[in-house]
Structure 1
Amino acid sequence: MQPNAESVVVLDFETTGLSPDQGDRAIEIGAVRLQNGVITERFQQLMDPGRRISPFIEEYTGITNAMLADAAPVSQVMAEFADFIGDDNLVAHNASFDKRFLDAEFARISRSYPGEFACSLLVSRRLYQDCPNHKLGTLVRWKNITGEGSFHRALYDAEMTAYLWLAMLADIREQSQLELVPFELVTELSKTAKKSVGAFFSRW
């Protein structure tokens, strides 16, 4: 039985900057667990990166240095998050960004994860080629998804990504005539040329 794409952990990081290779660190993690298309658990924590964050990041995320002063260290939060992930596959919007930070922070504490990553951004580019752009906020409005919260906070972004993911799976089921969408199908779709999407679904 191939893993079901409706049973995944959807995650989002807020960070001090764009690149862990340049020394940037995670400052917030938000995640939801989907089981058969239903959110069953949530994980959200701020974390102290060990230094002050820039005024730009404070403005962009709404996370302030004062908020991080009382937060647990990154290593502690990441250890807890590793336990939360378990064996599940992972989803993020612009997953290459979140995967870089997850891998970097886990490497610091000698933890790993067995699941694979899928990128809702790449999938959306194949499914919704008429959408003006494929930013999370644009796609949420495009698909008439509603929620309460603010973008650029990790848990809200994770939740909105999860709802977008489920909307995309519904559209994939319609095009593929499958009752359950395998995780492998979605990861393959994300690597398919846009002009070949119709042929891709005919193969499944």
Structure 2
Amino acid sequence: MVVFDFETTGLSPEQGDRAIEIGAVKLVEGEVVDTFQGLMNPGRAVSSFIESFTGISNSMLVNAPPCEVVMAEFAEFIAGYNLLAHNASFDRKFLEAEFARINYDYTGSIGCTLLTSRRLFQDAPNHKLSTLVRFKGLPSDGVFHRALADAQMTAHLWMKLLEEVTLQSGVEQPSFNELLKLSTLPKQKVTVYLSKLSKQSRKEKPHR
């Protein structure tokens, strides 16, 4: 799977906002095997608010390749992989908008660590990425709102979520699709779902 994150000029591609940076971490069997990072020139100026929020300035973007070039490279990077993001509804909007500009149709699934953490870490103060990093003591260099750093922290969060499912259900290697389904459940049904996973896992184990 590929964990990814965008930094953007604003909140809505429907209002003309564009991506200015993408970062991604490729995970295979829980190990980081590759990373992807790229600044991209959106063809418009970045506001002072976005510059302050992300640390990405217009001077950093003026010589960056256009979005279309970086997104074509990203399409190759994710070929054959499912995707994962924190607050994926936001990143999905920009992914689809930028891919539409290069006529690329992504057909994999996209999971959300925000939704999954709301089900599994119901005692967290809130479910912002920075809060969860501190709450669970996840590795971090203290940098937030830069795409690769956020993708790396989200990858650590995903691994912690997998550990939590294993802890609560006994399923040693919960699948992407199992957590994808869990993320859509009402919170009060999470315990029942994990119990079902546990029973299913015990049935599938060979008898000695």
TM range, smaller chain: over 0.9
The one-letter code matched in structure 1 to 2:68 is S
Q: Deviations over 1:128-166 (max 9, x none)?
A: 111000000000011111222510000000000000100
Instruction: Tell me which of 23, 32, 38 is aligned to 2:25.
Output: 32
Structure with higher Rg: it is: 2
Q: Deviations over 1:35-81 (max 9, x none)?
A: 00011100000000001110000000000000001100000000000
> Residue 146 of structure 2 aligns with which residue?
153
Instruction: Tell me which of 158, 176, 180 is aligned to 2:173.
Output: 180
Q: In 1, are the aligned partners of 2:6 and 2:147 still within 8 Å (CA)? A: yes
Cα distance in 1 for residues equivalent to 2:177 and 2:125 = 27
Q: In 2, are the aligned partners of 1:15 and 1:25 still within 8 Å (CA)? A: yes
Cα distance in 2 for residues equivalent to 1:146 and 1:91 = 18
Q: In 1, are the aligned partners of 2:27 and 2:33 still within 8 Å (CA)? A: yes
Alignment of 1:30-179 (within 5 A): 30-179=23-172
Secondary structure of 1:48's counterpart equals: coil
In structure 2, runs of 5+ residues without a counterpart are 198-208
Are 1:15 and 2:1 counterparts?
Answer: no
Cα distance in 2 for residues equivalent to 1:17 and 1:147 = 25
Cα distance in 2 for residues equivalent to 1:148 and 1:24 = 28
Q: In 2, are the aligned partners of 1:82 and 1:112 still within 8 Å (CA)? A: no
The one-letter code matched in structure 1 to 2:159 is L
Are 1:198 and 2:191 counterparts?
Answer: yes
Q: In 2, are the aligned partners of 1:11 and 1:91 still within 8 Å (CA)? A: yes
- TM-score (ref. length: structure 2): 0.93
Cα distance in 2 for residues equivalent to 1:13 and 1:149 = 18
Count residues with an aligned counterpart.
197
Q: In 1, are the aligned partners of 2:139 and 2:156 still within 8 Å (CA)? A: no
What's the RMSD between the two structures over aligned residues? 0.8
Cα distance in 2 for residues equivalent to 1:88 and 1:170 = 21
Secondary structure of 2:154's counterpart equals: helix
The one-letter code matched in structure 2 to 1:153 is R
Secondary structure of 2:177's counterpart equals: helix
Q: In 1, are the aligned partners of 2:8 and 2:20 still within 8 Å (CA)? A: yes
Identity of aligned residues (%): 57
Cα 1:154–1:168 change in 2 (3 A) is same
Q: Deviations over 1:10-51 (max 9, x none)?
A: 000000000001110000000000000011100000000001
Q: In 2, are the aligned partners of 1:78 and 1:105 still within 8 Å (CA)? A: yes
Cα distance in 2 for residues equivalent to 1:193 and 1:48 = 40
In structure 1, runs of 5+ residues without a counterpart are 1-7
Q: In 2, are the aligned partners of 1:87 and 1:113 still within 8 Å (CA)? A: no
